[in-house]
Amino acid sequence: MKMVLASKNPKKLLELQAILSAQGIEVVLESQVGIDVDVEETGTTFEENAFLKAHAVMEAGGLPAVADDSGLCVDALNGAPGVYSARYGGPGLDDVGRYRLLLENMRGQLDRRCRFVSAICCCFPNGDRVEARGECPGTLAYAPKGSDGFGYDPIFFLPERKKTFAELTAEEKNAISHRGRALEAFGEKLKAYLEG
Q: Annotation-wise, does 150 bind a ligand?
A: yes
Q: Annotation-wise, does 178 bind a ligand?
A: yes
Which backbone phi and psi does 109 adopt, to 5 degrees?
Answer: -85, 125
Asked if 37 and 30 touch (Cβ cutoff 8 Å), the reply is yes
Long-range contacts of 136-139 (CB under 8 A, 24+ apart): 136/176, 136/177, 136/178, 136/181, 137/113, 138/114, 138/165, 139/112, 139/113, 139/114
Catalytic position from the list 38, 69, 94, 111: 69
Read out DSSP for 26-67? EEEEGGGGT---------SSHHHHHHHHHHHHHHHHSS-EEE
Q: Annotation-wise, does 189 bind a ligand?
A: no
Q: Annotation-wise, does 69 bind a ligand?
A: yes
Q: Annotation-wise, does 8 bind a ligand?
A: yes
Note if 148 is an active site residue: no
Q: Annotation-wise, does 36 bind a ligand?
A: no
Q: Annotation-wise, does 151 bind a ligand?
A: yes
Q: Annotation-wise, does 10 bind a ligand?
A: yes
Q: Annotation-wise, does 2 bind a ligand?
A: no
CA distance to 40, 53, 64, 139, per residue, from 6 (Å) = 12, 6, 10, 29
Q: Annotation-wise, does 191 bind a ligand?
A: no
Cis peptide before 81 (omega within 30 of 0): yes
Q: Annotation-wise, does 55 bind a ligand?
A: no
Binding-site residue numbers for substrate are 7-12, 70, 150-153, 173, 178-179
Binding-site residue numbers for Mg(2+) are 40, 69
Which residues are the active-site residues? 69
